[in-house]
Amino acid sequence: MVHTDRATPSVARLSRRTVVAALGAVASGALLGVSSADGARAAAPGLDDPAKKEIAMKLVSSAENSSLDWKAQYKYIEDIGDGRGYTAGIIGFCSGTGDMLDLVQLYSDRRPGNVLAAYLPALRKVNGTDSHAGLDPNYPRDWRKAAQDTAFQQAQNDERDRVYFNPAVARGKTDGLRALGQFAYYDALVMHGDGDDPTSFRNIRRRALRTAKPPVQGGDETTYLNAFLDARVWAMKQEEAHSDTSRVDTEQRVFLRKGNLDLNTPLDWKVYGDGYHIG
Q: Which residues are catalytic?
A: 64, 82
Query: CB–CB of 69/80 below 8 Å?
Result: no
Query: Measured on CA atoms in the order 177, 201, 80, 119, is the torsion positive or negative?
Result: negative
The upper half-sphere exposure of residue 274, i.e. CA atoms within 13 Å in the direction of its Cβ, equals 16
Angle, CA of 238, 258 and 18, to the nearest 5°: 115
With CA atoms as reference, report the closest residue to 192 among 228, 149, 143: 228
How far is the C-alpha of 130 from the C-alpha of 186, rounded, in Å? 24
Query: CB–CB of 215/177 below 8 Å?
Result: yes
- Which 3 state secondary structure label does DSSP give 143? helix
Helix 179-192 vs helix 166-174: crossing angle, to nearest 10: 130
Angle, CA of 184, 154 and 263, to the nearest 5°: 25
Q: State how far the alpha carbon of 2 is from the alpha carbons of 67, 71, 267, 269, in Å.
A: 10, 19, 12, 9
How far is the C-alpha of 60 from the C-alpha of 269, rounded, in Å? 12
Query: CB–CB of 125/134 below 8 Å?
Result: yes
